[in-house]
Copies of this chain bind each other. A is one copy, B any other.
Amino acid sequence: MLRAIAQLVPNADYLFFGDTARLPYGAKSQEFVARYTSAAARFLQQRGIDVLVIGCNTASALALYDVKSAVNVPVLGVIEPGADAAAAVSHSREALVFATEATCASHAYQRALARRGFATHEKACPLLVPLVEEGWVESPVTEQVARIYTIEALRTASANVDVLVLGCTHYPLLRPLLRRVVPQRIQIVDSGEATARALLKYLDGHNLTAGTPTYRFFVTDSVEKFQHQAPVFLGFAADNVERADLDAGRS
């Protein structure tokens, strides 16, 4: 998500929060996703952010309103931009969404797409996150898993589906693989670029674009582990990484 945003909005001062000690969020309950995401939002607000993007689809789906109550800066989620991206390419108004178990159970995409006139079939793909985390983005195993999820989804989805929304930040790394697996009549979109456009629009409207691009990363688990893994997602090295200890001495 940060990569997509930074490509469109390079001249900004970015503060990134990664809850690496408690991830993944995709199988957690609403209560905990809301609690952890709100704590992260307050942490970032204390460091002087002007606008907050919830980059995680699960957190956007389950905790957008809790986060909006927790802080007094504008908050952008990724579900609405993702739904916009689907609406921009679909003719049939029938969509398929691949997402985490928690995002699917929330039906946040189904509701957002219904407001745009869509019928939506949501499919939980829990193994895709660990496969991406392992870097198996072109593995035959991952292709087999993606094929199983796609077949299962298309068995129950409408035959008129013409757009697949990648409703998890990890899935765009599987886009080339998914393009081989998903029928050609179905276009694939993700919320990254659409969220970046929504942010750019907000920044332009509020004259908030800064002069120099800077990045600060805050993570809740090991700094070294994050620095090792970050380039796979970011496309560049994460130098300025600090530990954010949200629960030190509290459990």
CA distance A148 to B131 in the complex (A): 14
CB distance from A145 to the nearest CB of B (A): 6
Report if A65 contacts B (CB, 8 A): no
CA distance A222 to B31 in the complex (A): 9
CA distance A31 to B20 in the complex (A): 13
Interface centre among A29, A39, A220 (most CB of B within 10 A): A29
Which parts of A33-58 form the interface with B (CB within 8 Å)?
Answer: 35-36, 39
CA distance A2 to B21 in the complex (A): 26
A144: chain B residues at CB < 8 Å are 140-141, 144
CB distance from A17 to the nearest CB of B (A): 13
Which parts of A147-202 form the interface with B (CB within 8 Å)?
Answer: 148
CA distance A32 to B136 in the complex (A): 26
- Which of B32, B129, B130, B225 contacts A29, CB < 8 Å? B225
Whether A39 contacts B148 in the complex (CB less than 8 A), given A130-B127, A222-B29, comes out as: no
- Contact yes or no, A35 B251, CB < 8 A: yes
Report if A204 contacts B (CB, 8 A): no
A28: chain B residues at CB < 8 Å are 21, 221
CA distance A147 to B98 in the complex (A): 28
CA distance A130 to B26 in the complex (A): 12
CA distance A251 to B134 in the complex (A): 29
A29: chain B residues at CB < 8 Å are 21, 221-222, 225
User: Which A-B residue pairs are the 6 nearest by beta carbons?
Assistant: A39-B251, A250-B250, A29-B222, A130-B130, A246-B251, A21-B32
